[in-house]
Amino acid sequence: MSSSTRIASLRRQKRISIAWRMAVSFLAIAFALLPVIYIFSASINPASSIASRNLIPAGANFDHYVQILKNTDGNTPFLLWMRNSLFVSLTTSVLVVSITSFAAYAFSRFRFRGRQPLLKTILLAQVFPNILAIVALFLILRQLGQYYPIVGIDSLGGLILIYMGGAMGFNTWLMKGFFDSIPRDLDESAHMDGASSMQTFLYIILPLVRPILVVIFILTFIGTYGDYLLARVMLKDINHFTLAVGLSLFVSGRFSQNWGPFAAGALMAAIPTLILFYFVQDQLQSGLTVGAVKG
């Protein structure tokens, strides 16, 4: 085979490879965007129905968006629900990242009595999903609410406590593995220069584990922002509802299911998550990959 033939064959193989990659990419994009397009079509459907033959329904308008933003019926404070969801999700994420980073650093760097049993206990507790403890959690919050109403039933503080308890165990293990991948020589060098353990953690180790902090923040935010079951059980007042619970009111009626406002609210509810992903996508990618290749 001549060199020119070999070059032509390599170019053809390269073009075929690029074509396959583009085809798979377009298929993945279409698969991801199809539900979004379907929801958008329902949100502009004046009949408040999800059964439409056309992508753009007849008489399509944005009245459903105006309805939930302005709360025209007086019983669906969408913006208040979004504020509640953002408050709960951001507060939970920040507290989980802060507490688990200290716990993971202690388990990774220090050797103390009961270390292994504690790690195994944390791992064992994660085997059972939160749904199994929902009755116990409800009773605990009811008892706490008698003394501290801010963390009782029908309070955002109580919901934050539950989310924190469910997220810290697994994330402590996840972050500990990342801490273990950082050489201990850095700690020893910092101690030789006179740095305390807290200074070493804050100024030496913490900047190196920033990607995993972002990953845990994102995972915690998404898990709490979209949760429905726990929030539905623990919250009673409509003004304390989170987005997932509040939006369910549009379709919970037996004879009055308003799919149009529900679809419009679902699309707008996704905006904070999209914005968050946009700003932390680089850190998220490195946090999911770097820790897997460190020895």
Residue 221 contacts residue 273 (beta carbons within 8 Å): yes
What's the pLDDT at 96? 93
What's the pLDDT at 245? 92
Residue 177 contacts residue 171 (beta carbons within 8 Å): no
What six digits make up the tokens of 243? 């987005």
Q: Consecutive 10-residue runs of the chain (295 residues): their mean pLDDT?
A: 71 84 89 87 82 75 88 83 94 93 87 83 76 86 89 91 85 85 85 84 86 88 90 91 90 72 91 87 62 44
Tell me where in the chain the CATH 1.10.3720.10 domain(s) lie: 73-293
CATH class belonging to 73-293: mainly alpha
What's the pLDDT at 294? 44
